[in-house]
Amino acid sequence: MVTPAAKRKAVAHLVGMHGMSERRACKAIGCCRMTVRYQTSRSDDAGLRQRMRAIAHERRRFGYRRLHVLLKREGYLVNHKKLFRLYREEKLTVRRRGGRKRALGTRAPMTVPVLPNERWSLDFVSDQMTDGRRFRILTVVDDCTRECLALVVDTSLSGARVARELDRLVAERGKPKMVVSDNGSEFTSNAILTWADQSRVAWHYIAPGKPMQNAFIESFNGRLRDELLNETLFTSLAQARVALRCWRADYNDARPHSQLGWQTPSEFAATCTPRRDLALRYIEGSAPDPAAHMGTSNRPNELRPG
């Protein structure tokens, strides 16, 4: 018996079942009488618990840290340690999914870009519908702002289709300095090689069998699969497109990101607007190195690896 609740229960058992006095029962088990007679003054926090359960039910793969951020947005002022206690009492702990064996050894950390459109990451994610038909998702992420730029869904995505989607993104956001991808056949096709040559965009291929070299998109794909794909049954391609479009909007505009100081990617991108303009002009060749305008110190929005 190490907790006060267990000691109170033992004293109550001795008094009720064996007819012992409270004083003698406390002496028998080595418990202070003040502990037995203590009446808690802690509030039950019924409103906070109910709202926390509602958010956790809606966002089943969010841990207590993200729930804490969302509750603070709604005006609930609660210490993160207290919230963690309530989180455990309500049995809302997220079950960890089975992991996989990872390579051992030291690896050089991936550098973090400091400008929007400095580097985009691309990859594919696959899933299937309830009738067994499979579909693929092209994911595109800005490595600086962590924004999800596109989620393209179809039963087949060729290199030409990827090039068209990249043209659409360039028209919306401007041209990136570099694109990072694996060595998939779509990314090594003649259509992509031609696009990179004509657009004058550096295309970097990671080493075969080394997905950790494309860590930003791999992390994003893990969140996508954990929070949406594993939680949803898709009956049609149209439903998948709608669900992914809604999830992308929620990811960019509502979901707090731990590596951005719990800001959303859109909020963080808003602080990068001046740097984004400089980057676009630098890419187009109409301005000198943006580092000369930004300075070399006191960059509050620069992310650091590790």
In degrees, to the nearest 5, what angle opens at C-alpha 132 toward C-alphas 127 and 135?
Answer: 35
Surface-to-core class of residue 182, CB atoms within 10 Å of its CB (0-12 exposed, 13-18 middle, 19+ buried): buried
Q: Provide the pLDDT for residue 154.
A: 94
Closest CA to 36 of 52, 20, 49: 20
Alpha helix positions (H), the chain: 4-18, 22-29, 33-37, 46-58, 64-73, 80-89, 159-173, 190-199, 215-227, 237-253, 265-271, 273-284, 290-294
Record the tokens describing residue 82, joined without a space. Answer: 């207290």
Residues recorded for the chain: 306
Closest by CA position to 229, among listed 146, 135, 140: 135
Q: To the nearest whole number, what is the mean pLDDT of the chain? A: 83
pLDDT digits 0-9 by tens, 218-268 = 999 999 999 999 999 999 999 999 999 999 999 999 999 988 889 999 999
CB 176 within 8 A of CB 246: no
Higher pLDDT, 19 or 306: 19
Task: Return d(Cα 285, Cα 301) in angstroms, integer.
Answer: 24
Reading the block at residue 70, the tokens are 């969302």
Q: Which residue has the higher pLDDT, 123 or 209?
A: 123
Max mean pLDDT among 224-228, 268-272, 279-283 falls in: 224-228
Please report the pLDDT score of residue 61 as a whole number: 85
pTM: 0.68
d(CA 243, CA 196): 31
Q: Which residues are CB-contacts of 165 (< 8 A; sequence separation ≥ 6)?
A: 138, 140, 150, 152
Strand partners, 120: 142, 179
DSSP letter at 74 equals T
Please, what is the angle between helix 22-29 and helix 4-18, to 10°? 130
Residue 299 has pLDDT above 70, yes or no: no
